[in-house]
Amino acid sequence: MTSKVASPGLFDPAIIKGASVDAFRKLDPRHLARNPVIFVTEVVSALVTLLFLRDLIVHNGAALFTGQIAAWLWFTVLFANFAEAVAEGRGKAQADALRKTRSDTRAKRLIDPENKSGMKDVVEGVSALDLRIGDVVLVEAGDLIPGDGEVIEGVASVNESAITGESAPVIREAGGDRSAVTGGTTVLSDWIKVRITAAAGSTFIDRMIALVEGAQRQKTPNELALSILLSGLTIIFLIVCVTLWPLANYSGTTLSLSVLIALLVCLIPTTIGGLLSAIGIAGMDRLIRFNVIATSGRAVEAAGDVDTLLLDKTGTITFGNRMADEFVAVGAVSEHALAEAVLLSSLADETPEGRSIVALAMSRYGLAAPLLGAEARIVPFSAHTRISGVDLPGRSVRKGAVDAILAQLEADFRTSRENNREQAATAFDADVLERAAVAKSLIPDDFTRAVERISRAGGTPLAVSENGRLLGVVHLKDIIKPDIKARFAELRAMGIKTVMVTGDNPTTAAAIAGEAGVDDFIAQAKPEDKLAYIRKEQQGGRLIAMCGDGTNDAPALAQADVGVAMQTGTQAAREAGNMVDLDSDPTKLIEIVAIGKQLLMTRGSLTTFSIANDVAKYFAIIPALFIVTYPELGAINVMKLASPQSAILSAVIFNALIIVALIPLALTGVEYKPVGAAALLRRNLLIYGLGGIIVPFIGIKLIDLLVSALHLA
Pick the more confident residue, 635 or 379. 379
Residue 330 counted as domain residue? yes
Q: With cut-offs at 50, 70 and 90, classify the pLDDT of residue 86.
A: confident
Same domain, 143 and 77: no
Q: With cut-offs at 50, 70 and 90, classify the pLDDT of residue 370.
A: confident
Q: Nearest CA to 603 among 303, 278, 305? A: 278
C-alpha distance from residue 539 to each of 55, 378, 542 (Å) = 62, 56, 7
Same domain, 359 and 473: yes
Pick the more confident residue, 267 or 434. 267
Query: What is the mean pLDDT of the segment spanning 631-647?
Result: 76
Q: Cα separation of 223 and 278, whole Å? A: 12
How long is the chain?
713
CATH code of the domain containing 371:
3.40.1110.10
Same domain, 498 and 577: yes
Same domain, 534 and 544: yes
CATH code of the domain containing 571:
3.40.50.1000
pTM: 0.60
Q: Which helix (H) or strand (E) holds 292?
A: strand 292-294
Tell me the residue type at 342: V
The count of structural domains within the chain is: 4
Query: What is the mean pLDDT of the segment spanning 397-411?
Result: 83
C-alpha distance from residue 347 to each of 292, 339, 357, 373, 466 (Å) = 40, 12, 9, 13, 16
Domain stops at, among 558, 582, 606: 582
pLDDT digits (tens, 9 = 90+) for 506-539: 877 888 888 888 898 888 877 788 888 888 988 8
Same domain, 284 and 216: yes
Percent of the chain scoring above 70 in pLDDT? 81
Running DSSP on this structure, what letter comes out for residue 670?
P
Q: Which residues are catalytic?
A: 312
Q: With cut-offs at 50, 70 and 90, classify the pLDDT of residue 115.
A: low
Q: Nearest CA to 177 among 695, 557, 653, 595? A: 557
Q: With cut-offs at 50, 70 and 90, classify the pLDDT of residue 434.
A: low
* pLDDT higher than threshold 50 for residue 607: yes
Domain range for residue 159?
131-198
Sign of CA dihedral 65, 68, 70, 72: negative
Q: Cα separation of 552 and 98, whole Å? A: 29
Q: With cut-offs at 50, 70 and 90, classify the pLDDT of residue 177.
A: low
pLDDT digits (tens, 9 = 90+) for 126-167: 887 778 888 899 998 888 888 888 888 888 888 775 555 444
CB atoms within 10 A of CB 30: 7
Q: What share of the chain is helix, strand, coil (3-state, %, to 5)?
A: 55, 15, 30
CB 156 within 8 A of CB 120: no
Q: Does 387 count as an annotated binding residue? A: yes
Q: Provide the pLDDT for residue 100.
A: 54
pLDDT digits (tens, 9 = 90+) for 68-81: 888 888 988 888 88
Same domain, 237 and 364: no
Q: Cα separation of 11 and 660, whole Å? A: 12
Residue 124 counted as domain residue? no
Domain stops at, among 536, 557, 582: 582
Q: Cα separation of 482 and 710, whole Å? A: 65
Q: Does 388 count as an annotated binding residue? A: yes
pLDDT digits (tens, 9 = 90+) for 452-504: 888 777 778 888 888 878 888 988 877 777 777 887 887 787 788 888 887 77
Same domain, 328 and 442: yes
* pLDDT higher than threshold 50 for residue 426: no
Query: What is the mean pLDDT of the segment spanning 621-638?
Result: 73
Same domain, 506 and 576: yes
Q: Does 711 count as an annotated binding residue? A: no
Residue 29 counted as domain residue? yes
CB atoms within 10 A of CB 254: 9
CB 303 within 8 A of CB 594: no
Q: Cα separation of 537 and 36, whole Å? A: 36
Residue 83 counted as domain residue? yes
Q: Does 177 count as an annotated binding residue? A: no
* pLDDT higher than threshold 50 for residue 345: yes
Residue 204 counted as domain residue? no
CB 346 within 8 A of CB 360: no
Q: Does 617 count as an annotated binding residue? A: no
Domain stops at, among 169, 198, 227: 198
Same domain, 572 and 609: no
Running DSSP on this structure, what letter comes out for residue 460?
E
Q: Provide the pLDDT for residue 90.
A: 61
